[in-house]
A and B are shown apart, each in its own frame.
Chain A
């Protein structure tokens, strides 16, 4: 039970931050292409979290695209099942899901349902969507990995609005009790939930202090700054302290597509058919600017 994760991990394949930015761009592009299939969805969140996913899948995590159940993989738990489109976009970029399945997103008999389901999709570790499940599951994954003396990490992505679910705090409390130094929480703070700004629905700050008081190692970064994310992930992975780690990621909804960034209510985006092409063009333009 006391297997330490303090030892530095094997170095990751060398990837410059420029190429991580390129990964993030392609994750965004994949998400927009899937969004176009449905004409609507949690697009703004996918665009916002793309940098975090790029750093997760192309800097921090160990996995084998051809073997999504590889025992020594790091686990990525998507608590916010609504963000499935974002994770699919990353899994496609990582080669875990074939790119040609992108067009099946949310269609009948697809492996890519609109909300994340573990039984459907390679690389989808848990069924999220009913919010507040991920962190408790992450505690169980982390305890199980420690029993097996595994060196794998458990990453768990949840969101600011989701912090209203009491089960998150049961998980937060438990993770520090069990000294889960193989657990890295990622919170997407985009301040937007179904009924409006998360800070107004039920204010969630001071977030860093709250997690610190629960015994977590806390970092807070600009979730759209890849260099900052790389540094935060490295610190989280290499920390000597036997405590769970959290990276609070402040992200911008619809990041990378200016006209969508400006929409006041972009929790669940409805985009006109002619706007998708424009969105991708703007994304492409932003990539080189």
Chain B
């Protein structure tokens, strides 16, 4: 759907087409919400990727860090400060960023290349595909602003990055949930011999999974919470939302299990099939990604191929649209990713 630039916001009142607006409730601004996903009362850790990479590099001299003018915005500045001689600022040139990372990998180094997910997925696709994936090179591509994590509008919203990279042979895809998982994913992706794409939460990143005794394992899905009525299969930040939604639904006597799937490719088919085969549970796949070609369709395809038919199958995902610009909490609610919206959706489906 395309917005009209000739329609004034209804809440401005004058000349508005749609009533008086809601001037009594404060309007969120886009800029206040760019830096962090964390809610006001959420525990956070600063720049978990940058700190984890800097620490890992102490014992892995082959690690180098490259960025395309986004070190500060992908938390790579922490690594750059700790290991300045191993940091390569490639400038605003994503095709070069990826090509140079591939060349350094060919010379025996392990490049971590960072940019925004939109620029890697859209702009550098051919270079990732031919120079890195086809050669199965040991390059780690770490990208901030995955899915809907900025209100800057479609230029910065990588709503289709998983769909794009799922179609690319050889490359692994990781969609971590929180700071705890990012810290563990960095050494795990370094231990994996081959290209990896990681969706990065940056800045002050929420800390959730440490309370669940959780450990990231490459390629493994993990049950964080059991329940008899609904199974939420989720990745990335949607897992923390799923955990909160499960708490909210418990108050309504809905018993919700949460299966966290941080590795989208290769998919942990065995664990997903084991959990989805349990009878009597509605399966809800929740992801911070368009409904086209992400975790939801990956799970659906797996279930169909395997002859597993749950009581019901539903998806919480972004619509197949270019999304609005605006404040992130507003947009998450509008597109169904907020805890409140998730809870409403699941109750409606029961």
Contact = CB atoms under 8 A, between A and B. Distances in A.
A78 B19 CA distance: 65
Chain A CB within 10 Å — which of B100, B104, B108 has the most?
B100
B90 to A, nearest CB: 6
A22 interface: no
Contact of A140 (B85, B101, B130, B135): B101
A143 B100 contact: yes
Interface stretch (B91-99, B178-186, B251-259): B91-99
A6 interface: no
A129 B104 CA distance: 20
Contact of B108 (A142, A143, A144): A144
B35 to A, nearest CB: 29
Interface in A152-199: 166-167, 170-171, 173-174, 177
A148 B127 contact: no
B109 A171 contact: no
Interface stretch (A42-50, A130-138, A229-237): A130-138
Given A118-B135, A137-B102, A140-B100, A147 B130 contact: no
A170 B106 contact: no
B107 to A, nearest CB: 3
A1 B99 contact: no
A141 interface: yes
Interface stretch (A28-36, A87-95, A119-127): A119-127
B103 interface: yes
A253 interface: no
B152 interface: no
A170 B126 CA distance: 15
A149 to B, nearest CB: 12
Interface in B122-154: 126-127, 130-131, 134-135
Contacts of A142: 103
A74 B134 CA distance: 23
Contact of A119 (B105, B107, B134): B134
Contacts of A143: 88, 100, 103-104
A127 B96 contact: no
A173 B104 CA distance: 18
B103 A141 contact: yes
A132 B98 CA distance: 12
Contacts of A140: 99-107, 111
A253 to B, nearest CB: 26
B96 A144 contact: no
Contact of B103 (A1, A117, A144): A144
B130 A139 contact: no
A249 interface: no
A125 B95 CA distance: 19
A136 B127 contact: yes
B317 interface: no
Contacts of A148: 107-108
A137 B131 contact: yes
B230 interface: no
B246 interface: no
Nearest to B99: A136
A44 to B, nearest CB: 25
Nearest to A118: B135
Contacts of B100: 136-137, 139-140, 143, 174
Contacts of B108: 144, 148
B64 interface: yes
Contacts of B102: 137, 140
Contacts of A135: 99
A155 B103 CA distance: 13
Nearest to B85: A1
A141 B107 contact: yes
A170 B95 contact: yes
A145 interface: yes
Contact of A136 (B95, B107, B109, B134): B95
Interface string B72-96: 0000000000000100101101011
A127 B88 CA distance: 23
B135 A136 contact: no
A285 B298 CA distance: 63
B160 to A, nearest CB: 21
A133 B127 contact: yes
11 contacts: A133-B131, A136-B131, A139-B103, A140-B102, A140-B111, A147-B64, A148-B108, A167-B99, A167-B127, A170-B91, A174-B91
Closest 7 CB pairs of A and B: A140-B103, A136-B99, A144-B107, A140-B100, A170-B96, A170-B93, A167-B95
